[in-house]
Chains A and B, each alone.
Chain A
């Protein structure tokens, strides 16, 4: 294998940050044209884990397809399940009891915290600090244990059903959540002292990858990528769904547009999720978790329906075109990370490769969600 290295006519070389690389979280290929250590041009290549979820949506019935949604983004699975269930309930006109809605909101927020903790660990590990990963994963284990007792799985929950939930939560779950909230707050203080205040970390992220507001709007970015650039948009507040209007929480928005702003947005989101969980546990009503007449065969009337939810990755939307039969005619999944990732190509021109990889970490990419 003695192929000579090709020098391009403008004295740059192509570096392939290949599908197998410790820094790209999943199988993402980035073809970078480099001039020394500066990136002249980058091109992201996706499709290495395309599993044809949308095609499966056309072939499977609604309860069968529901299981696919957890596998799309496995780190924040419940948000996606929530979107799908809300859509089908909207389409088929199924009423959801109030207790089920509250439990759904609580579990979605717990899952959001777990996903953000994992992002935090992986991000700091990308930058070279290996210990916060272990601390974050230990905290995440508490959440996973709580959810495993109730749902039966640790990562790919299939907890919701059309009309309500799979099974009810018990007192032990409520007590463990009440224990977990102050413990998580103490851990957040620890992370802020260990990581956020650290001068090496701040120097690494301040001014890194300036992402202006127009770029975000051009690519349709959402979640921390947009909120770190000053765009105050969160589906839970701007297009409220489910039981979120009853909760009192803030949306953190930072205007510095650099990686540190995106990091701060996500850390503050964890705190706001803790607030939502606290209020949810307090206000949890009693009652059934499935409606009395839960339909066995779901056949929504023919039409075009859309539902957007705020997941840990961003603004996830599902569109359903139904033709009145048991399987959808078309089911489109709008993946938030797909829009978030494509700004990488334009923004990383002229950056050092270290900064570009720190930028990629701050975008919080989960590649199976891009490729669906």
Chain B
């Protein structure tokens, strides 16, 4: 009998304690970042899709060793190059990244010994066509140069 009443009162008290917590939260500031009206800056280590690094002349450092293509678990990278006459190393002719398969694991950047690729910080990627995500990185590098 006593337990019946103590349960009612302790139950009511727990409900009031809960209400006081939400009351306090009601007056706390909002934490939402209202994207797309406000944006956040990405940290330095952020893994966007890769991009070629430009050296002083504006071309890429890549010597077509194919390490990134071999390291990629999903088979997104296809590199091709040719050896020009008079040069010791190969030069890059195509570098295609199939971003629809990329899992942003970072193996390619890690496996490159020649400082040719890095992460970009693009996260606003939305498109209606699949072809937009078969990215031609060499063309992007040339567009950035000009």
B18 touches A198 (CB 8 A): yes
Residues of A within 8 A of B15 (CB): 198-200
Cβ-closest chain A residue relative to B19: A194
Across the interface, B47 reaches (CB within 8 A) one of A60, A68, A152, A200, namely A152
Given contacts A67-B105, A194-B21, contact A199 B14 (CB under 8 A): yes
B45 touches A190 (CB 8 A): no
B71 touches A63 (CB 8 A): yes
A153 touches B21 (CB 8 A): no
Given contacts A151-B45, A153-B47, A199-B10, contact A135 B25 (CB under 8 A): yes
Residues of A within 8 A of B132 (CB): none
- A150–B44 Cα distance when bound, in Å, is 9
Task: State the Cβ distance, B113 to closest chain A Cβ, in Å.
Answer: 10
Across the interface, B18 reaches (CB within 8 A) one of A148, A158, A166, A194, namely A194
Interface size on A, residues (CB 8 A): 30
Q: Is A44 an interface residue (CB 8 A)?
A: no
Task: State the Cβ distance, A66 to closest chain B Cβ, in Å.
Answer: 8
1/0 per residue B9-28: CB within 8 Å of A?
A: 01110110110011001000
Task: State the Cβ distance, B129 to closest chain A Cβ, in Å.
Answer: 26
Given contacts A60-B73, A138-B31, contact A167 B18 (CB under 8 A): no
Residues of A within 8 A of B17 (CB): 193-194, 197
Interface size of B as a range: 20 to 34
Residues of A within 8 A of B25 (CB): 131, 135
Q: Is A65 an interface residue (CB 8 A)?
A: yes
Q: Is A149 an interface residue (CB 8 A)?
A: yes
- A60–B103 Cα distance when bound, in Å, is 15
- A13–B15 Cα distance when bound, in Å, is 38
Given contacts A148-B46, A199-B15, contact A158 B22 (CB under 8 A): no
Q: Which of A150, A151, A194 has the most CB of B within 10 A?
A: A194
Q: Is B80 an interface residue (CB 8 A)?
A: no
Residues of B within 8 A of A325 (CB): none
B110 touches A166 (CB 8 A): yes
Within 8 A of B (CB), among A46-76: 60, 63-65, 67-68, 71
Q: Is B119 an interface residue (CB 8 A)?
A: yes
- A141–B71 Cα distance when bound, in Å, is 32
1/0 per residue B105-146: CB within 8 Å of A?
A: 111001000000001000000000000000000000000000
**Nearest 6 pairs between A and B by C-beta?**
A199-B11, A64-B73, A67-B105, A152-B47, A152-B45, A149-B43
Given contacts A153-B104, A199-B14, 8 further A-B contacts (CB under 8 A): A67-B73, A68-B73, A138-B31, A156-B103, A193-B18, A193-B21, A194-B18, A199-B11
23 contacts between A and B (CB under 8 A): A64-B107, A67-B73, A67-B105, A67-B107, A131-B22, A141-B31, A148-B45, A148-B46, A149-B43, A151-B45, A152-B43, A152-B46, A152-B104, A156-B104, A161-B110, A166-B106, A167-B45, A194-B22, A195-B18, A199-B12, A199-B14, A199-B15, A200-B15
